[in-house]
Amino acid sequence: MRRVARGLVLLAALLVAAASAAALRDRGPREYHETLYVFGTLVEVVIYGESEADAQAASAELGREFGRLHHAWHAWRPGMLTSLNEAIAAGHSYSVDNELAGLLEQGQALSCASGGLFDPGIGALVGLWGFHADTPPVGPPPSRAEIDRIMDRHPGIADLRIEGRAVSSSNPAVRLDLGAYAKGAALDRAAALLKARGIDSAVLNAGGGVQVLGRHGDRPWRVAIRDPFEWGAVAAVSLAPGEVLHSSGNYERYLEHDGQRLSHILDPRTGYPVRDIVSASVLDRNGARADAAATALSVAGPGLWPVVARRMGIETALLIDASGQVFATPAMAARLEAVAGELPPIRIVELPENRASDDCVLPAAAS
């Protein structure tokens, strides 16, 4: 929790320009701040240029909406998703709502594009590693045999059949866990909801995911990319209206064992936590895709991530490996701004050519 709070302070420091809230109230458009505790994380809402009453009403609606999605999409607390998981285990079909059916279809497409590195069908593995709990897991990691018991059944979101609202799985070992893209999808919805209310300048920041509407007065909204090793930011990025930035890292949730931090991001090819990449950030215009891609690039690792970014339609990404080396695509490098002093050394990595592929299989090695 302290980490999250510190992250928010950093973001707030970057978001809120020199003027104090009081000065803004007296001289310029109003800036409304509220922190919601939803989706298992703190969500900071900043609404600019609206009356206090309008901003407050919008923020309250966001709180209700996030709460609703959190309940429906939760991986282990009873709700629509857990009901679907129970039906899958029993070999039945289950009727979800249109929203969840659409999210699962999007999940299948993103998973295919990632070559299966992003796979919301591996919930059984996530649970086995102890991440289906509100507090970080303690105790030894699962045994090889326990991991193999799940891996041998090859669960994946590709096994789902989605016909309208009816969802079933050809593989009863599939357990859905939307944790890697639900936050991004929820931010997409929240932004749409604000727009529908006529709000055209806002920021939504949900631990690792930031989505902006419009601009911060006459400036773009500016957000930080966190340093995964210590308190602070690696760089800042100015987001254009409608852009999102999602970061996945091993600093938010992990299992600590024998002095090692085991990431909550698992490699679906091995069943083990990701090691080489400690942070991946993706800038895009779709929250669900950016969130899914940040997870997929973390799994892909140093050799393969450019291929996966290309296949997922991502141009703007930054990764940090366990040694602290920062990698960025040319599009991302062009957007980075120093926070204090200079930017860290950055290795620029060109994305491979866009080769159309209609299967879900990655090349064996980076090309």
Footprint of ligand ADP (CB under 6 A): 118-120, 122, 126, 131, 177, 179-180, 183, 208, 248, 252-253, 264-266, 268, 291, 294-295, 299
299 binds, among Mg ion, ligand ADP, none (CB under 5 to 8 A by kind): ligand ADP
Residue 26: Cβ-neighbour burial (10 angstroms; 0-12, 13-18, 19+):
exposed
What's the closest the beta carbon of residue 73 comes to ligand ADP, in angstroms? 11
106 binds Mg ion (CB under 5 A): no
What's the closest the beta carbon of residue 183 comes to ligand ADP, in angstroms? 6
Nearest to 8 by CA among 35, 28, 40: 35
Q: Which is nearer to ligand ADP, 45 or 55 (CB)?
A: 45
266 binds, among Mg ion, ligand ADP, none (CB under 5 to 8 A by kind): ligand ADP
Q: Which is nearer to ligand ADP, 179 or 214 (CB)?
A: 179
> Is 52 in contact with 30 (CB distance < 8 Å)?
yes
Q: Which is nearer to Mg ion, 107 or 141 (CB)?
A: 107
Q: Which is nearer to ligand ADP, 201 or 211 (CB)?
A: 211
Looking at residue 208, what DSSP letter applies? T
69 binds, among Mg ion, ligand ADP, none (CB under 5 to 8 A by kind): none
Q: What are the structure tokens assigned to 108, written together?
A: 């299948």
Q: What are the structure tokens assigned to 245, written together?
A: 């930035």
284 binds, among Mg ion, ligand ADP, none (CB under 5 to 8 A by kind): none
What's the closest the beta carbon of residue 155 comes to Mg ion, in angstroms? 19
Residue 77: Cβ-neighbour burial (10 angstroms; 0-12, 13-18, 19+):
exposed
Residue nearest to ligand ADP (CB): 179
Q: What are the structure tokens assigned to 354, written together?
A: 């866009």
Q: Figure out which of the listed residues 62, 190, 294, 308 binds Mg ion, where binding follows CB under 5 A.
A: 294
> Is 109 in contact with 119 (CB distance < 8 Å)?
no
What's the closest the beta carbon of residue 104 comes to ligand ADP, in angstroms? 13
Q: Which is nearer to Mg ion, 38 or 293 (CB)?
A: 293
Amino acid at site 80 = M
Give the chain's count of helices (H) and strands (E). Answer: 10, 17
* Dihedrals phi, psi of 160, to nearest 5 degrees: -75, 145
211 binds Mg ion (CB under 5 A): no
What's the closest the beta carbon of residue 336 comes to ligand ADP, in angstroms? 21
Could you tell me which residues are beta bridge partners of residue 42?
Answer: 37
> Is 162 in contact with 213 (CB distance < 8 Å)?
no
177 binds, among Mg ion, ligand ADP, none (CB under 5 to 8 A by kind): ligand ADP
Q: What are the structure tokens assigned to 66, written together?
A: 């996030």
Q: Which is nearer to ligand ADP, 92 or 257 (CB)?
A: 257
Residue 337: Cβ-neighbour burial (10 angstroms; 0-12, 13-18, 19+):
middle
For residues 79 and 105, what is the distance between their CA atoms, to the nearest angstrom?
19
With CB under 5 A as the contact rule, which of the stretches 72-80, 162-170, 173-181, 231-239 interacts with Mg ion? 173-181
180 binds Mg ion (CB under 5 A): yes
How many of the other CB atoms lie within 10 Å of CB of 345? 8
For residues 243 and 24, what is the distance between their CA atoms, to the nearest angstrom?
25
Residue numbers of the site for Mg ion (CB under 5 A)? 180, 248, 291, 294-295
